[in-house]
Amino acid sequence: MKWIKKLTAVLGLVLVLCAAVACGGNSAYTVTVDCDSLIMGGIQVELVDENGVVDTKDIGKDGKVAFDVEGGTYEARIVCKAGLEGLLDDYVCEIKTLTEKERSVTLHVTPKSDLDDENTIDYNVTVQLPDGTPVKNITVQLCGGPDYACYSSKTNDSGLAAFKLKAGEYEVHIASSFHPAGYTFDDSQYKMNAEGGSLTVQFKKA
């Protein structure tokens, strides 16, 4: 009988360890946002993995956002809320990576006017539906470049979002809050190279 009790105890310990570590489960990640108080209420934090946006949350009064998601590696980035297109056009937003070992990061949102005035080149992104219809008044982000940050611009009536940035490679991102009803956007599909220039991107039917 003693060996049965010992076996039961061992199995119980294994189950506890499995639930806590080996069997996955959710993990807590924290993102702190350092930005101008004037825009704090109009922005959110997106948590993104290799398959796209995992979760989007508002920022608390203390500047923090807590995510309870499956353990893994995620990219944390800042987006503006729907209805506040253009809010981040004058700011540069950091991007940082969260991992199982580094579950807390701080994202800084810096006014462009505070940055050094270095040489920039033109990057132009035109956003369309599959039939070529321009998508106006949404926020497009170019993320990457030498400073690994996100830059925002609002599309005009022709669906054009214009940027002047340091030369570098950038990915095109459009926050889920700006996807037209019935459509989705693949953040991994479109990239711009260090030469700048123009690129047309399209939503896909969901």
- What tens digit of pLDDT does each residue of 31-57 get? 999 988 888 889 999 999 888 889 999
Q: What angle do CA 38, 43, 47 make, to 5 degrees?
A: 150
**Would the pTM of this model clear 0.85, i.e. be above it?**
no
pLDDT at 51: 84
Pick the CATH number of 27-205 from 3.60.15.10, 3.30.450.20, 2.60.40.10, 3.40.50.360: 2.60.40.10
Q: Retrieve residue 87's tokens.
A: 């809010």
Q: Looking at residues 163-182, what average pLDDT do you find?
A: 91
Share of the chain above pLDDT 70, in %: 85
What's the order of all strands across the beta sheet hosting 197-202? 160-165, 121-128, 197-202
| One-letter amino acid of 130 | P
Whether 170 and 192 have beta carbons less than 8 Å apart is answered as yes
